[in-house]
Amino acid sequence: MEDLFNDYLDVTSRGKLYRNAQMRRLNPTEAEELLWERLESKKLYGLKFRRQHPLRKYIVDFYCHEKRLVIELDEGVDDSKERKLKDPERTELLNKLNITEVWFSNLEVLNDIWAIEDKIMAIVETLPGKR
């Protein structure tokens, strides 16, 4: 059976990366917790998301393999282009893997989770894969 969640995980990084991801899952931010309540158990239109998921040498906040979508949260309110410039190597890797990356600030999530859900679904509608 195809390993749907770890197919992009670098074998040499597994141990430490998995431990770091597990620690992050145990200590989520308030915004991560709120968004996870909306994503877990296929609550958002039947899409399966994983949280604090390792991809190669990175850990992403939320990942939907079916839609090849990464959702990241951060504390700032900068423009997404500026965020991508902060770690061009990571963004380049996600692009090579044909994974769409979307960013939201913690404040956006905490202030209007419904708008975030709408934005995620608008993005999902544009992506290939089942829905």
Which residues form the domain of 44?
A: 11-126
Q: Is residue 82 part of a domain?
A: yes
Q: Is residue 3 part of a domain?
A: no
- The 10s digit of each residue's pLDDT in 32-85 is 999 999 999 898 889 999 999 988 888 899 999 999 999 999 866 554 555 556
Q: Kindly report the CATH number assigned to the domain that includes residue 109.
A: 3.40.960.10
Q: Is residue 111 part of a domain?
A: yes
pTM to 2 decimal places = 0.79
Of residues 14 and 8, which shows the higher confidence score?
14
Q: Please give the tally of structural domains in the chain.
A: 1
Q: Is residue 2 part of a domain?
A: no
DSSP assignment string, the chain: ---TTTTT--GGGHHHHHHHHHHHHHS--HHHHHHHHHHGGGTTTT---EEEEEETTEEEEEEETTTTEEEEEES----HHHHHHH-HHHHHHHHHTT-EEEEEEHHHHHH-HHHHHHHHHHHHHHSSS--
Of residues 94 and 75, which shows the higher confidence score?
94
Q: Is residue 20 part of a domain?
A: yes
Q: Is residue 6 part of a domain?
A: no
